[in-house]
Amino acid sequence: MPTLIRGGHVVTSAQGRLPAVIADGAVLVEGDLIAEVGDYPALRAAHPAAEVVGGPHDILTAGFVNTHGHFSEGLITGMAEEYTLWEWLEALIHRVDPHLDRQMAEVGTLMSGVQMLRSGITTTNDMFCSDPGRDAPLTPGVVNALDLLGLRGVLSFGAGDVGSDRGIEAEFEEHEALREAVAGSRRSLFRVGVGAVGGQSDAMFARSVAYATGLGVGVHIHLQEVREEVTATFQARGVTPTRFCAREGLFAAPTIAAHCVWVDRHDRELFAEHRVGVAHNPVSNMILASGAAPVAEFRALGVDVGIGVDGAASNDSQDMIQAIKAASLLARVHHQQATAMSAAEALELATIGGARALRLEESIGSLEVGKQADLVRFDGESPALACTHDPVQAVVNIAGSREVADVWVGGERVLRDGEVATVDVAEVVARARPLAAELVARAGLHHLSGWR
Ligand SMILES: [Zn+2]
């Protein structure tokens, strides 16, 4: 039976073919696809048997596309706030890297994934950053968790051989294990992760390029998040990380690059030339004091920009609505202009912009016929949204996760009246607590943690 999802305001994120906002509209979902989008009364009359969800005051948007995150950080949230990126990597992330196991990968993903669903994320682009699994590959645990949640994943392993005693083969075994698990998954896609240019030897980088281009899959990389990275690569390789990627052929694979804060004009032009997508992570960039990415400059060049929540150890929330608002606010502070990024632009980045940056705009990112039925229903009965004048400003500047009533991924209602419908959240939490304590103990991080 088809479902007719109704909203007083249907914010389509469609560009050109549909109005940006349809008043008293609805989306007809058949199977996993959007079958029709239009006026509610007309669709209701044409489909009298359809189940109706939603009401005349609700707001519907396309599902949010989170363009950058790390499920490897799901159990180490809210620690080590006083560091900038490289210090933070040393104090926290690299301490944890050798100690993750597959169960931690799965439960950490469930913990982050639940928060993502509650904030309207329907697709998440992740890079699992850790040492390769010792006893067994870790990343199949991520795939398993996303299949349980019903969340759509674009999944990569953030490989790097510099400073590792494991060798290049172990890194590629983890890639392959992830690729195999994704092939059997419900909704996930595989990408080749390159942790960062500085994390790979020349030999490994060349192999990463050949691996991605040979398979015809995309790449997920961190690029020029902090000045130190640019300086170090310039000293070691004579060019910026972006120029190095272009020169060595990485951008022949569809690439999404996270952060891109410390980029110059030539770097930005290379992004445009090679259609590299940018994952902008405003909250994480503020927490780590990395800076403000030049989003307006990228967009002026036609570069596709999406928004990311980033990992649960650097944001530390996994709340997309907060990240969308932060994108708009950070741009305003950065440029000292109230017009620097409107709510509409921030919402565009979070939906169709992110889909484009991942080159998935044909199947997700907007409420249009033929696309995957990935939708968010915001509760118009909530006091925060009950007097909505502008639905876009309402979603970006007023709403929080508590206003997210329903989420559909591929037509499956994975969040129902504010509750995750696919997993038992209390059970996930009960599994996570001892694992988080164990991970902190294994990594020797008691000095950073309240677990004493
Ligand atoms: Zn990252």
**What percent of the chain stands above pLDDT 70?**
99
Q: Please check the confidence at residue 179 and state whether its pLDDT lies above 80.
A: yes
CA of 222 to the centre of ligand 1 (A): 6
CA of 329 to the centre of ligand 1 (A): 21
pLDDT tens per residue across span 200-253: 999 999 999 999 999 999 999 999 999 999 999 999 999 999 999 999 999 999
Structure confidence at residue 452 as a pLDDT band (50, 70, 90): very low
| Averaged pLDDT, 82-97 | 94
CA of 195 to the centre of ligand 1 (A): 8
> How many Å apart are CA 307 and CA 324, to the nearest integer?
7
CA of 341 to the centre of ligand 1 (A): 23
Name the residues around ion ligand 1, CB cutoff 5 A.
258
CA of 212 to the centre of ligand 1 (A): 19
What CATH homologous superfamily does 3-63+365-420 map to? Urease, subunit C, domain 1 (2.30.40.10)
| pLDDT at res. 434 | 97
More confident of the two residues 451 and 351:
351
pLDDT tens per residue across span 32-78: 999 999 999 999 999 999 999 999 999 999 999 999 999 999 999 99
pLDDT tens per residue across span 310-329: 999 999 999 999 999 999 99
CA of 267 to the centre of ligand 1 (A): 19
Cα distances from 395 to residues 65, 87, 225, 343, 409, in angstroms, run 15, 35, 28, 8, 19
CA of 281 to the centre of ligand 1 (A): 9
> How many Å apart are CA 391 and CA 146, to the nearest integer?
30
CA of 225 to the centre of ligand 1 (A): 9
Q: Please check the confidence at residue 18 and state whether its pLDDT lies above 80.
A: no
CA of 124 to the centre of ligand 1 (A): 13
| Averaged pLDDT, 92-96 | 94
CA of 344 to the centre of ligand 1 (A): 25
Q: Please check the confidence at residue 15 and state whether its pLDDT lies above 90.
A: no
| pLDDT at res. 193 | 98
Q: Whole-model pTM?
A: 0.97
CA of 397 to the centre of ligand 1 (A): 25
| pLDDT at res. 449 | 75
Nearest Cα neighbor of 363 from 29, 125, 20, 34 is 34
The residue whose two tokens read 């559909």 is: 408
Average pLDDT, the chain: 96
CA of 285 to the centre of ligand 1 (A): 10
CA of 11 to the centre of ligand 1 (A): 29
The residue whose two tokens read 């249009």 is: 368
Amino acid present at 418: G
CA of 158 to the centre of ligand 1 (A): 9
| pLDDT at res. 77 | 93
Which segments within 74-217 are labelled E, that is strand?
121-128, 152-159, 189-196
Q: Please check the confidence at residue 451 and state whether its pLDDT lies above 60.
A: no
CA of 349 to the centre of ligand 1 (A): 18
Q: Please check the confidence at residue 19 and state whether its pLDDT lies above 80.
A: no
| Averaged pLDDT, 162-182 | 96
CA of 196 to the centre of ligand 1 (A): 9
The domain locations on the chain are 3-63+365-420, 64-357
Q: What is the DSSP letter of 350?
A: I
CA of 68 to the centre of ligand 1 (A): 6
| pLDDT at res. 200 | 98
**What percent of the chain stands above pLDDT 90?**
95
Is 64-357 assigned to CATH 3.40.50.300?
Answer: no
| pLDDT at res. 450 | 63
Q: By the 8 A CB rule, do 249 and 351 touch?
A: no
pLDDT tens per residue across span 418-446: 999 999 999 999 999 999 999 999 999 98
| Averaged pLDDT, 157-178 | 96
CA of 92 to the centre of ligand 1 (A): 14
CA of 328 to the centre of ligand 1 (A): 20
